[in-house]
Structure 1
Amino acid sequence: MLKWLDIIRIANNGNPSPEKRVEKTNEEWQLILTPEQFRVTRLKGTERPHSSDMCSYFEPGKYACICCNTELFDAGEKFESGTGWPSFTQPIKENVVAYHKDSTFGMVRIEALCNICDAHLGHVFQDGPTPSGLRYCMNAVSLRKIVVNESKITFGGGCFWCTEAIFQQLKGVVKVESGYSGGEISNPSYREVCSGMTGHAEVIEVTFNPAEISFEDLLRIHLATHNPTTIDAQGADKGSQYRSVIFYRNDKEKDAAMKVIEELQASYNAMIVTQLEMFEHFYKAEAYHQNYYNNNSDQTYCQAIINPKLKKFKDLFKENLKEQVTL
């Protein structure tokens, strides 16, 4: 998660390398953009505040650069800033937005540009909501809303290396990321979480297509692929960071989770102790934790711990596996 010091560091030391570049002459941009789009994105203009109803839309989706169609922001990071411009707390990826010092109008600001095509988007300020404290104040005319049929669910059931490996195999799952939720500090490190002092749980955040797999089915698989009857423990892993937990984002999700737990309770001799907590923040874990099993499948832990769990999972949920997964 980017914070203000990260933005300053990037602006001073150089932007991350983009995955690609799109370059056109001004004449070529004028052929594909409206006059207002060209004025704002290519000539660094600013649209009038409250000139777009994009500020008031918070439906799921993504926001792409109007010039090159690069996805820049997720609607989940959008908030009502009251400024009259669409505001976000984070970009989709750290390398899709570039940052430059802007000394116009007698002040120093941080300009935000599309890192792919250099389109002017707006500015970044340090008066946004926690935990990042950032406000990406964007010109609506610089963005294009993309409607996507995706939702997110966040839960923990022991070591996230195991849970990530399982949920990556499911049809309808778009992305799985390992991280931390439910704690008391911002941007915790793995070492801090492992101390048990931060209150975070090791979790995965699953992005999925509800048309292919339901929220309830993901919970059923979650509860069936770890032990939901042990408090703060999964096998040899002990501590609150390994607790069984489901983070719900609204009352509808909370009610659905309670019904699934009640439905599955009859399958267990002991009481299901999975915690239900209101989702607040997901902090993505360090890079070496992401896609851990696929990158380290020959390691002893993967062979001894994850492989047996994967086999059991595949036996139980054959019909839910992606087509390329073989037993």
Structure 2
Amino acid sequence: MLKWIDVVKFASVGNPVPDTRVEKTEAEWKTILSPEAFSITRLKGTERAHSSDMCSFFEPGIYACVCCGTLLFDGDEKFESGTGWPSFTQPVKENAIAYHKDSTFGMVRIEALCNTCDAHLGHVFPDGPKPSGLRYCMNAVALQKVESREKKLTLGGGCFWCTEAVFTLLKGVSKVESGYSGGKIDNPTYREICSGMTGHAEVIEITYNPDEITVEDLLRIHLSTHNPTTLNRQGADTGTQYRSIIFYRSEEEKVAAQNIIAEMQEVYDAPIVTEVKALEQFYKAEDYHQDYYSNNAEAGYCQAVIDPKLQKFKQLFKDKLKA
């Protein structure tokens, strides 16, 4: 997660390397952009406040650069800032945005540009909501909405190496990331959460297409592939960081979680202790935790713990597996 100190560092020392570059002449940009989009993105203009409906809509989707189509912001990071311009707390990737010091109009600000094509997008400020504290104040004309059916679901059920390995195999699931959620501090490290003092749970964030797999099926699989009746424990792993938990993003998800827990309770003799809680923030874990099983399949933990879990999972849900 980027913080203000990171933004200042990029603007002062140098920006991250973009995935690709798109460069055109001014004449070429004029042929593909509307006059307003050209004025704002290529000539660093600013649209009138409250001039776009984009400020008022918070439905799922991705926002891309109007010039080159690079994905810049996720609708999940959009919030009502009251400024009259669309506002986001984070870009989709650390290297999606470039930052330049802007000393125009007698003040010092940090300009946000598309790191792929140098399109002027707006400015970034340190007065956004926690935990990042950032407000990417963007010109709506500089963005184009990319419709997406994908949704996200955040679950915890013991070691995230195990849960990630399970959900990666499901059809309809495009991405699974390991991380931390439900605790008291920002940007926790693995060492900190292992102490049990931060209150975070080891979780995975699943990106899925509800046309291919439903949230109800994901929840059934979750409650079938770990023991939801043991409090703060999964096998030999003990501590609050291993608790069984479902984080919901909407009232619809909350109701689905409660209904599936009630349904699955009939399968278990002991009471299900899975916590259902509103998601506040997902913190992505360190890189070495991502794709852990696929990168360490020969490791002792993977063979002793994850392999048997995967075999059982594949037998129970073979109709849900990717080809």
What are the residue-to-residue correspondences of 1:127-206 with 2, within 5 Å? Answer: 127-206=127-206
Aligned-partner Cα distance in 1 for 2:121–2:150: 25
Q: What is the match of residue 249 of structure 2?
A: 249
Q: How far apart are 1:17 and its partner, in Å? A: 0.9
Q: Does 1:47 align with 2:47?
A: yes
Q: What is the match of residue 3 of structure 1?
A: 3
In structure 2, the residue corresponding to 1:266 is in which secondary structure? helix
Q: How far apart are 1:9 and its partner, in Å? A: 1.3
Q: How far apart are 1:168 and its partner, in Å? A: 0.6
Aligned-partner Cα distance in 2 for 1:179–1:67: 33
In structure 2, the residue corresponding to 1:307 is in which secondary structure? helix
**Stretches of 4+ moved more than 3 A in 1?**
none
Identical counterparts, % of pairs: 71
Aligned-partner Cα distance in 2 for 1:78–1:24: 30
Q: What is the match of residue 297 of structure 2?
A: 297
Aligned-partner Cα distance in 2 for 1:9–1:265: 51
Aligned-partner Cα distance in 2 for 1:74–1:197: 31
Q: How far apart are 1:307 and its partner, in Å? A: 1.2
Q: What is the match of residue 64 of structure 1?
A: 64
Aligned-partner Cα distance in 2 for 1:296–1:105: 54
In structure 2, the residue corresponding to 1:136 is in which secondary structure? strand
In structure 2, the residue corresponding to 1:122 is in which secondary structure? strand
Aligned-partner Cα distance in 1 for 2:292–2:8: 31
Aligned residue identity for 1:155: L
In structure 1, the residue corresponding to 2:227 is in which secondary structure? coil
TM-score (norm 2): 0.99
Q: How far apart are 1:278 and its partner, in Å? A: 1.2
Aligned-partner Cα distance in 1 for 2:222–2:186: 26
In structure 1, the residue corresponding to 2:267 is in which secondary structure? coil
Q: Does 1:314 align with 2:314?
A: yes
Aligned-partner Cα distance in 2 for 1:284–1:229: 26
Question: In angstroms, what is the RMSD of aligned CA positions?
Answer: 0.8
Aligned residue identity for 2:258: M
- 1:62-106: CA deviations, max 9, x gaps? 100000101100100000101010000000011111111111111
What are the residue-to-residue correspondences of 1:268-287 with 2, within 5 Å? Answer: 268-287=268-287
Aligned-partner Cα distance in 1 for 2:306–2:258: 28
Aligned-partner Cα distance in 2 for 1:271–1:115: 51
Aligned-partner Cα distance in 2 for 1:56–1:289: 37
Q: What is the match of residue 85 of structure 1?
A: 85
Aligned-partner Cα distance in 2 for 1:30–1:301: 58
Aligned-partner Cα distance in 1 for 2:322–2:294: 15
- 1:21-68: CA deviations, max 9, x gaps? 111111111110011111111111111111111100111111000001
Aligned-partner Cα distance in 2 for 1:268–1:299: 32
Aligned-partner Cα distance in 2 for 1:89–1:163: 28
Q: Does 1:211 align with 2:211?
A: yes
Q: What is the match of residue 120 of structure 2?
A: 120
Aligned-partner Cα distance in 1 for 2:43–2:106: 19
- 1:137-187: CA deviations, max 9, x gaps? 000000001111011111100011110111010011111111111001111
Q: How far apart are 1:285 and its partner, in Å? A: 0.8
Q: What is the match of residue 239 of structure 1?
A: 239
Q: How far apart are 1:320 and its partner, in Å? A: 0.3
Aligned residue identity for 2:313: F
Q: How far apart are 1:279 and its partner, in Å? A: 1.1
Aligned-partner Cα distance in 1 for 2:52–2:314: 49
Aligned-partner Cα distance in 2 for 1:19–1:293: 26
Aligned-partner Cα distance in 1 for 2:191–2:10: 25
Q: How far apart are 1:268 and its partner, in Å? A: 1.0
Q: What is the match of residue 224 of structure 1?
A: 224
Runs of 5+ consecutive residues of structure 2 not aligned to the other structure: none
In structure 1, the residue corresponding to 2:31 is in which secondary structure? helix
Runs of 5+ consecutive residues of structure 1 not aligned to the other structure: none
Count of residues in correspondence between the two structures: 323
TM-score (norm 1): 0.97
